[in-house]
Structure 1
Amino acid sequence: MSKGHSTKAVLIAGPTASGKSALALELALATGGVVINADSMQVYRDLHIITARPTRAEEARAPHRLYGHVDAAVNFSAGAWVSDAAKALAEAQAQGQMPIFIGGTGLYFKALTAGLSVVSPIPAEVREGVRARLEQNGVEALHAELARRDPRAAERLNLRDRSRIARALEVVEATGRSLLDWHHEGQPPLLPKDSFRAVFLAPERDELYARIDARFDAMLGAGALKEVERLAARGLDPLLPAMKAHGVPALVRHLRGELGLEEAARVGRADTRHYAKRQFTWFRHQLPEFEWVKPVEARGWLAAAANAARDPG
């Protein structure tokens, strides 16, 4: 796609294992576009196999951005992704390439199309103190503390959600304000309302779950356990996002001798299926501008997007 053509963005979302990456690559090849990652786990360079990132051969066929560019020791946030995505978007627009955002992280797409709340930086001593209390006293005690200090946020959080409970508590402790209040202020969207087309791939659940199970087994066959072993050897904080990628906690438990490999794989597959279910719910309620399409119909949808790019008028 040469300069002067429309650079209207295309957003391809969907649950894990729904075939998004292959479709994004097809569209990039058809339009001369650039594939920009919108998956919160595929940003980590330590997690290539276990997150089903595009292969190096696939990345060589078309430009790919924001894949594997973050170290697992980094607590990468949606705000950091927006900053990186803004640069990738500007680069694509400057070169007259169609930006193709693809992934399954709903918050990234929400930030892209609706903006993002901005929270003041949390001092390291506050974060470390909250995490120390979490490890020492457990998640129930931390949730009880949050309920005393920010009952509105506590009411919205699952009692077992260690990460979000810790996050909400550190925000109120550092800023004196609820995380919910911060959500009303923030950055404008990177993509204005009429500057993109958005699709959500919606496979039948049974078909999707079978794909998830088969892909998890294939990842194990491709070396996912060795990949997780290298990550575990770094001794990183278990609350870091990379340490909670689907399949990683169960495989770490296997490496510690707590689970057999088949049991760890069963847990990993089940965790991934549960995540896919949450993705359906999140996109349905949070991003109504996405058009839901069955995978069998997706190529037709993308062909229309490609034609619109070639003939924006």
Structure 2
Amino acid sequence: MDETRVILIAGPTASGKSGLALRLAEELGGMVINADAMQVYSELRVLTARPDAEAEARVPHALYGTVAAADAYSAGRYVSDVTDALEQARQCGLRPIIVGGTGLYFKALTDGLSPIPPIDDDVRAHWRAEAAEHGARHLHGVLSGRDPEMAMRLAPGDTQRIVRALEVLESTGRSLAEWQRLPGEPLLPETETVRLLVAPEREELVRRIDRRFDGMVGEGALEEVQQLDALGLDPALPLMGALGVRPFRRHLAGEIGLETAIEASKIETRQYAKRQVTWSRRNMSSWNRLSAQQMECSVGQIMHFVQNAD
């Protein structure tokens, strides 16, 4: 196997992919590069399960905690930042290992981004204000009337993506679905990558999600949301949609008890993981799947498995 190929590790939340990336980086002399849309933000380190200081001290990490919560980070900026991180890794003689659960980021890297023109600032501000005033479900109804195809793709509560669909439609006059059908230029073609998809059994994944969230609460996740809430940010900003933020904000507002907020957070995390699994089945069918048992193997055995699967 070509040892210069970039290793990509995808999988649902709480599946153990970050731990695998750390092991590979230690054994292969690598740099771990983030592919999680929430872990790019400097806030909510615990709640977004960013690598802790001990992990970051063991191997070099990139694109973790580099963006402020008030910033609406985009896939376009992500590809640009990964390009820089790959160059940094190569200059340092490190094997790039890109890990995360954001399918759009991997798709942008391996398939390229659609050539969507920049969105007018006034249009973006308008739809964010609408989201703040009326909420995601109202905007989903607006989108259904103007762009039924995109509305069918998006969950009624997905504020960030609904706002994105509306602003693209208004700014360009074309549906986001049309733009997404236009081919892009991949940064990482298949021949330059090793593609691993972590695929635990559903029951094990649910146990891991619940266990991890309980740990997050003990490590200060609620306090993180309290600090985030104090910033008074636009609710349409990406980080405000991080798993656990909405239930904890409702608890902080006195609307629900803490146990109810914790259970609601676990439920939305399980639902998100289910969507991730569905998306990966549809979009990552050619990737090398790793079961929980295979992830327990040595790094050498994992790489041997991948080499034989190629």
TM-score, normalised via structure 2 length: 0.92
- Write the distance in 1 (CA, Å) between the matches of 2:20 and 2:186: 25
Shift of 1:199: 1.2
Per-residue CA deviation, residues 51-110 of structure 1 (Å, 9 max, x unaligned), is 111110110110111100011111111111111011111222233321101111111111
Root mean square deviation, CA, Å: 2.2
Does residue 270 of structure 1 match 2:267? yes
Distance 1:99 1:174, change over 3 A: same
Query: For the Cα contact (< 8 Å) 2:295–2:302, is it kept in 1?
Result: no
Is 1:109–2:106 an aligned residue pair? yes
CA–CA distance in 1 between the matches of 2:137 and 2:246?
20
Residues 24 and 30 in structure 2, CA contact (< 8 A), matched pair in contact too: yes
Q: What are the Cα deviations for residues 221-252 of structure 1, in whole angstroms up to 9, with x where unaligned?
A: 01111111111100001111111110111111
Alpha carbons of structure 1 residues 135 and 95: separation in structure 2 relative to 1, 3 Å: closer
CA distance in 1, matches of 2:121, 2:139: 18
How has the CA–CA distance of structure 1 residues 218 and 155 changed in structure 2, closer, same or farther, with 3 Å as cutoff?
Answer: closer
Length, aligned pairs only: 306
Partner secondary structure for residue 122 of structure 1: coil
Distance in 1 of aligned mates of 2:272 and 2:25: 27
- Alpha-carbon distance between aligned partners in 2 of 1:22 and 1:80, rounded to the nearest angstrom: 26
Match of 2:174 among 160, 174, 177: 177
Equivalent position of 1:230 in the other structure: 227
The equivalent position to 2:187 in structure 1, one of 160, 169, 190, is: 190
* Structure 1 residue 279, shift from structure 2 partner: 0.7
1:247 aligned residue: 244
C-alpha contact 1:110 1:287 (8 A) present in aligned 2: no
Q: Which is worse superposed, 160-169 or 259-268?
A: 160-169
Percent of paired sites with the same residue:
51
Matches within 5 A, 1:58-77: 58-77=55-74
Q: Please give the alpha-carbon distance, in whole angstroms, between the structure 2 residues aligned to 1:137 and 1:43.
A: 28
The answer for unaligned runs of 5 or more in structure 2 is none
Alpha-carbon shift at residue 31 of structure 1 (Å)? 0.9
Structure 2 distance, partners of 1:96, 1:306, is 19
Q: What are the ranges of 5 or more consecutive residues in structure 1 without an aligned counterpart?
A: none
Structure-2 residue corresponding to 1:124: 121
2:216 to 193, 212, 219: 219
TM-score w.r.t. length of structure 1 = 0.91
Structure 1 residues 272 and 165: alpha-carbon distance in aligned structure 2, compared to 1, 3 A threshold = same
Deviation at 1:124, TM superposition (A): 2.0
The alpha carbon displacement at 1:308 in A equals: 10
Q: 1:46 aligns with which of 32, 43, 46?
A: 43
Q: Does 1:167 align with 2:164?
A: yes
Q: Could you tell me which amino acid in structure 2 is paired with residue 41 of structure 1?
A: M
The answer to whether 1:286 aligns with 2:283 is: yes
- Is 145-154 or 94-103 further displaced after alignment? 145-154
Counterpart Cα distance in 2 of 1:261 and 1:168: 34
The SS at the match of 2:93 is coil
CA contact (8 A) 1:7 1:97 kept: no
Code of the aligned partner of 1:289: S
Distance between the aligned counterparts of 2:165 and 2:184, measured in 1? 20
* One-letter amino acid of the counterpart of residue 222, structure 1: E
Most deviating of 132-141 and 228-237: 132-141
Note the C-alpha offset of 1:299: 4.6
Match in the other structure for 1:10:
7
Distance 1:210 1:262 in 2: 18
Per-residue displacement from partner, 1:11-59 (whole Å, max 9, x unpaired)? Answer: 1111111111111111111011111011111111102000111110110
1:246/1:271 contact within 8 Å kept: yes
**SS across alignment from 1:7:** coil
The answer to whether the aligner puts 1:297 opposite 2:297 as a matched pair is: no
Q: Deviations over 1:192-211 (max 9, x none)?
A: 12111111111111111011
1:11 touches 1:199 (CA, 8 Å); kept in 2? Answer: yes
Residue 55 of structure 1 corresponds to 52
- Report Cα offsets for 1:102-136 as digits up to 9, x if no partner: 11111111111111113222122112222333444
Q: Is the Cα contact below 8 Å between 2:132 and 2:236 reproduced in 1?
A: no
